[in-house]
Amino acid sequence: MKKINILLILLLVFTLAFTGCSSSTNEVVKDGSSEGEKVKDTLIVAMASEPSTLDGNGKDDNASSQVKAQIYEGLVRQDPQMNILPVLAEDWNFENDTTIIFNIRKGVKFQNGNELKASDVKFSLKRAYDNGYAAADLSPIDFEKSEAVDDYTYKMVLKHPYAPIISKLASSSAVIVPQKVVEEKGEDYLSTNPIGTGPYKLKEWAQGDRIELVKNEEYWQETKGVKNIVMRFISEIANRGIEVEIGGVDIAYQISPNDIERLNQNPDVETIKTPSLSTTYIGFNCQKETFKDKKVRQAIAYALDIDAIADTVYFGTGTPAKSVLAPTVWGFSEDVRTLGYDPEKAKILLEEAGYSDGLDTAIWVSDSQQRIDIAEIAQNQLKDVGINAEVKILEWGTFLEKLKEKELDIYLLGNSVTSGDGDELYYQFHSESGYSGNTAYYSNEEIDDLIEKSRLAIDPDERAKYLEEIQNKVIEEAPWIPVWHGEIVTGVRSNIEGFENYPNENHKLSNVHFK
């Protein structure tokens, strides 16, 4: 009991010390105000991890993209409803199915004072493609024929008609960087010295702790955001919930479903929930002899009660998955026919596949507690139909390496369609897609053909029909078993205004301020 009391006292002292420190550094006296009247000018945000780079055309992991969203801008962006909005492109028009003219916004300056030009656009998009992180999104662009016609006109030429090209330009790696800086300072310079056209610029990156941003006073449009943003790296999901609860941070990304009810009982905190673009799924290595057989994959799908798994693990957040695309993704169809939960059907299929005496296999997961929980529930459900599945847990990097080397049998993974477009089905299921997308190493000529037709279809209705057919075919073939469509859950202090959840998690903070 004494130990517990001491710990509580220490926690209280720490909290008060932090709060006192915060009030001295996060508040300024208002202009023309009476002495002592203060307003906070520093927003503190808790992130789940540390960025790997701040190069606008570099790696687009969640953490990197969340910081870069404050520093850089692209030709277009998506709003919280995934509508396309013009940014550095004032407008655009299609000359024909393969030629687009972008009128570049005049008077926009990079954070080093240089004016944005169409030549920077041409350079940045090609660089993003060459770096590989936006290569899939930008691959339809014919960079040899695309050109900066003048300082404020960029002509984009496509290799073939490609309906989702504008939404692909909203990719977090397809932002515009200053050509002159990269050429003079070298390719690696922007990774720690970011220079964009966005509303904030880098002040300090304290490795392993935080990133500090300061408002870009030369920004081309008015914003309501605070002067300073501190983005802290807090990897433990429970700790992010605690920090927003006690006021250690103003906003906490990726709150645990376990913490939602508790936080909602606190009048100083609200949780904001938004359907995400992600799908958690159980995948099969379709190059393994056992899982080349569609009947085995289908048997496992029939043996799993997906609704029970999702409700147990995610506490009612998100929705049990009905398709390999989330409902927030363009092209998702309500008419996709799921296999459903039917253990008796599973037993019949296993017998037809030659496993009447049962099947031994393994479910591989990374060291994520939610995915471990899913695997263990699936393990118990599979026992009921004669499948003995050992759950094997790996560190994330090792998991990815083994996935790449085709060593995994059954595995748990998630996929987020950050573009918000069903063209993602190409990367997930086309036989020519690499392992980072087609993690099942799945190949089906009929699906390849449907995907290729969908990519060439300009008419939205025609394209939607192809995407629906692909989704139905994938569910039937079962290289993946979709489990859960996620929610973005963010904890926000009640004195915050202007925050909006973005389904792709690249939350824009330029209009977030204190009440």
Query: Would the pLDDT of 29 be above 90?
Result: no
Pair 287, 381 in one domain? yes
Query: Which stretches of 291-448 are assigned E, i.e. beta strand?
Result: 319-320, 359-366, 387-394, 410-416
Inter-CA distances, 385 with 306, 347, 359, 374, 382, Å: 15, 6, 9, 17, 6
Radius of gyration of the chain (CA): 25
Pair 379, 453 in one domain? yes
Q: How many domains does the chain have?
A: 3
Pair 423, 335 in one domain? yes
Q: What is the pTM of this model?
A: 0.84
Residue 502 counted as domain residue: no
Domain range enclosing 30: 1-38
pLDDT digits (tens, 9 = 90+) for 151-175: 999 999 999 999 999 999 999 999 9
Pair 27, 105 in one domain? no
Residue 237 counted as domain residue: no
- Closest CA relative to residue 489, chosen from 255, 295, 304: 255
CATH number of the CATH domain containing 326? 3.10.105.10
pLDDT digits (tens, 9 = 90+) for 406-457: 999 999 999 989 889 999 999 899 998 877 789 999 999 999 999 999 999 9
Last residue of a domain, one of 191, 210, 245: 191
CA–CA distance, 426 with 437 (Å, rounded to integer): 8
Inter-CA distances, 492 with 229, 235, 245, 264, 290, Å: 15, 18, 9, 10, 48
Residue 506 counted as domain residue: no
Pairwise pLDDT comparison (40 vs 98), residue with the higher score: 98
Pair 24, 89 in one domain? no
What the block records as the tokens of 4 is: 């517990």
Residue 232 counted as domain residue: no
CB 45 within 8 Å of CB 253: yes
Pair 296, 183 in one domain? no
How many CA within 13 A on the CB side of residue 409?
18
Say what the pLDDT of residue 37 is.
Answer: 52
What the block records as the tokens of 506 is: 């690249």
Q: Percentage of residues in the chain with pLDDT exceeding 90?
A: 84
**Residue 27's pLDDT band (cuts 50, 70, 90):** low
Residue 343 counted as domain residue: yes
Helix (H, G, I), strand (E, B) or coil at 379: helix
Pair 179, 315 in one domain? no
Helix (H, G, I), strand (E, B) or coil at 47: strand
Last residue of a domain, one of 159, 191, 223: 191
Pair 326, 460 in one domain? yes
With residues binned 3-state (H G I as helix, E B as strand, rest as coil), the percentages for the chain, rounded to 5, are: 35, 25, 40
Please, what is the average pLDDT of the chain?
92
Residue 242 counted as domain residue: no
pLDDT digits (tens, 9 = 90+) for 261-272: 999 999 999 999
Last residue of a domain, one of 170, 191, 212: 191
pLDDT digits (tens, 9 = 90+) for 220-256: 999 999 999 999 999 999 999 999 999 999 999 999 9
CA–CA distance, 378 with 255 (Å, rounded to integer): 25
CA–CA distance, 423 with 167 (Å, rounded to integer): 10
Say what the pLDDT of residue 314 is.
Answer: 87
Q: How far is CA 64 from the centre of its chain?
A: 11
Q: How far is CA 261 from the centre of its chain?
A: 25
CA–CA distance, 300 with 359 (Å, rounded to integer): 11
CATH number of the CATH domain containing 106? 3.90.76.10
Pair 379, 411 in one domain? yes
Average pLDDT over residues 450-473: 96
Pair 131, 6 in one domain? no
Pair 466, 351 in one domain? yes
SS (H, E, C) 131-151: HCCCHHHHCCECCCCCEEEEC
Collect all residues with Cβ–Cβ distance below 8 Å to 410 and sequence separation of at least 6: 282, 283, 284, 285, 291, 300, 361, 362, 363, 364, 389
DSSP assignment string, 222-270: -----SEEEEEE---HHHHHHHHHHTS-SEESS--HHHHHHHHT-TTEE
Pair 24, 127 in one domain? no
DSSP assignment string, 71-106: H---SEEE-TT--EEESSEEEEEEEETTEEEEEEPT
